[in-house]
Structures are given as C-alpha cells and as structure tokens.
Amino acid sequence: MTCSCCSRRAFLGGALVSLFSSVSVLADRVHVVRKGETLFGLSRQMGIPFHDLADANHLNRKSKLQVGQRLFIPSNEALPQLTVALKKKFDRTHVKARQWKYVVVHHSATSSGTVAGMDRYHSQVRHMENGLAYHFVIGNGKGMKDGETVASRRWKKQLAGGHLASEALNEISLGICLVGNFEVSVPTAKQMQALAGLINYLLKRCHLGHSAVKTHQQINTIYTRCPGRRFPVKTLLGMVA
Ligand SMILES: [Zn+2]
C-alpha cells in the first residue's frame, strides 16, 4: 500500500518538474530580497544549505544581493522547520510506529494563556486525568513568549489526547493549541512559523502526509468553531510539507 506520505512526495516532485510552467507554484517559491538581507543570512533563516540556495540562483560566495532581486527557493526545504534545540528535545520521546494519524490545530479561545494555567483548568475544572488536553502549546506573547513551543506530558509519555469529542480520535490525534482567540484576532507571524515548523517535524516523525493536518472543526464529531473563523487554514497548509 502506498502511504500518504510517499504519495505526497511524488506530488511534490511533479510540482517541481512543472515549476517553470506554473506561475502560482513559482510564486510560492520566490523570495524578494529586502534591504540588509544576504545570501548567508537567508540560508540560515530558511534553514537551507548555503550552496543549495546559491546554486539554485546561479550565485556564489562573492555575489551581492540587490533589494528587489527575486530568489528562487529550492524545494520544500524552504518550509518552516523546528529549531535545532527543540528538535533535539522532542526527539528524546520515543514514538511508536503508526500510533498517530492526525495532527489537530486548536486555539485557546482566550487572549492570553500559559501551559500551567491550561493544565490547571483541564485537571481541576474539566477533571482530566492527564491534565492539559494537548500535546503541544504555542504562545502568543501574552503569558508565554510569542512563538514559544512547549511539549506537554502527553507528548513526552505518548498519551492519547483529550482535545477531541471522540475518544477513538483522541487515541490517534496529536493536539496543538495556539494561545489566542481567533474568532476575534489572527495568530501572530511567529506562532504561524512555530506551528508550521512543529507540524513539519511531526509529519516526518510520525510518517504522515499533508492530509493528516486538520483543524479541530474539520475533524471533530461535534460542531465546534475552534480554532476560530479567522484562523488562516489555507496559509498553514501552504507552509507544511
Ligand atoms: Zn479545539
């Protein structure tokens, strides 16, 4: 059986082959140089090896970038990734093969929040045995740092989530909660980068494809507005592998 991950890779390969005949695909993979940017700086920022970025643009170490210059960003390496430190931390957890089928995005529906606060709420008010219902929380600068990504004990111990109405779905769904109320505001840029980096990591780690990424509303068996009508689903899907 072809796994969804492999079929996605095949699709990406096809997209790259047709890159120069498709304006929309090309537009997604072009970076317009801003003042002060350097090829070295961009390669670090995007997590792309310097030579890959230079070669894709027929540039070398001595090349100077011009403001407004269009750079081709090679392959999906341009997608947000976890920081090296977080990857190292999350890698310590052993993940059982085929345990997880979905990665589900939520909002806290509050303007501020912390892991400890949400953990307390889920333990003491909602009486959840394992506390915090999510596997990860991403802060918005109010209570936690903007874009700060924290793994809960549900990730560290690989416990089922408590974030969906169906227990069967909780068994196979990793939950990520962004602090914020996206009925009234949008996630910060740092939250979106952190979220996409985390999802790209989880898809790879759990051998999942693009279709595994869901919002709470998309997967829940009971109607919910989570993660809010202003959450940019399409933007997120464009940022994940
Ligand atoms: Zn939710």
Indicate which CATH number applies to the domain containing 154.
3.40.80.10
**Closest C-alpha among 93, 70, 71, 101 to residue 3:** 101
Query: What is the phi/psi pair of residue 72, to 5°?
Result: -85, 125
Crossing angle (nearest 10°) for helices 84-91 and 189-205: 40
**Closest C-alpha among 2, 6, 3 to residue 241:** 6
Distance 158 CA to ligand 1 centre (A): 19
Whether 56 contacts 72, CB under 8 Å: yes
Residue 57 has which token pair?
């643009």
Say if residue 114 is in the same domain as residue 22.
Answer: no
Domain CATH code at residue 9: 3.10.350.10
Distance 63 CA to ligand 1 centre (A): 48
**Closest C-alpha among 99, 93, 76, 102 to residue 4:** 102
Distance 46 CA to ligand 1 centre (A): 30
Distance 241 CA to ligand 1 centre (A): 22
Say if residue 205 is in the same domain as residue 164.
Answer: yes
Say if residue 20 is in the same domain as residue 57.
Answer: yes
Say if residue 181 is in the same domain as residue 65.
Answer: no
CA angle 104, 106, 108 (to 5 degrees): 155
Neighbours of 227 (CB within 10 A): 28
Domain of 117, in residue numbers = 84-239
Q: How many domains does the chain have?
A: 2
Say if residue 70 is in the same domain as residue 158.
Answer: no
**Chosen domain end from 78, 95, 114:** 78
Q: Which residues in the chain show pLDDT less than 70?
A: 1-28, 46-47, 75-77
Question: What integer pLDDT is reported at residue 61 of this predicted model?
Answer: 87
Say if residue 115 is in the same domain as residue 23.
Answer: no
Query: What is the phi/psi pair of residue 206, to 5°?
Result: -100, 10
Neighbours of 202 (CB within 10 A): 23
Question: What integer pLDDT is reported at residue 19 of this predicted model?
Answer: 35
Say if residue 62 is in the same domain as residue 13.
Answer: yes
Question: What integer pLDDT is reported at residue 241 of this predicted model?
Answer: 84
**Chosen domain end from 40, 55, 78:** 78
Distance 175 CA to ligand 1 centre (A): 8
Say if residue 143 is in the same domain as residue 70.
Answer: no
Question: What integer pLDDT is reported at residue 11 of this predicted model?
Answer: 35
Question: What integer pLDDT is reported at residue 136 of this predicted model?
Answer: 98
Say if residue 146 is in the same domain as residue 204.
Answer: yes
Q: List CB contacts of 180: < 8 A, sequence separation 6 or more.
A: 107, 108, 110, 111, 140, 187, 188, 191, 228
Instruction: Tell me which DSSP letter residue 164 carries.
Output: S
Distance 22 CA to ligand 1 centre (A): 36
33-87 pLDDT, tens per residue?
999 999 988 887 766 778 778 888 889 888 899 999 999 877 655 789 999 999 9
The runs of H, that is alpha helices, within the chain are: 4-17, 23-28, 39-46, 50-56, 84-91, 115-120, 153-156, 167-172, 189-205, 216-219, 233-239
Say if residue 40 is in the same domain as residue 134.
Answer: no
Say if residue 68 is in the same domain as residue 94.
Answer: no
The model's pTM is 0.70
Pairing type for strands 70-72 and 149-151 reads unpaired
Question: What integer pLDDT is reported at residue 57 of this predicted model?
Answer: 87
In angstroms, the CA 173 to CA 191 distance is 20
**Chosen domain end from 59, 78, 97:** 78
Distance 179 CA to ligand 1 centre (A): 11
Say if residue 90 is in the same domain as residue 73.
Answer: no
Question: What integer pLDDT is reported at residue 127 of this predicted model?
Answer: 93
DSSP characters over 75-125 = GGGGS----HHHHHHHHTS---TT---EEEEEE-SBSS--HHHHHHIIIII
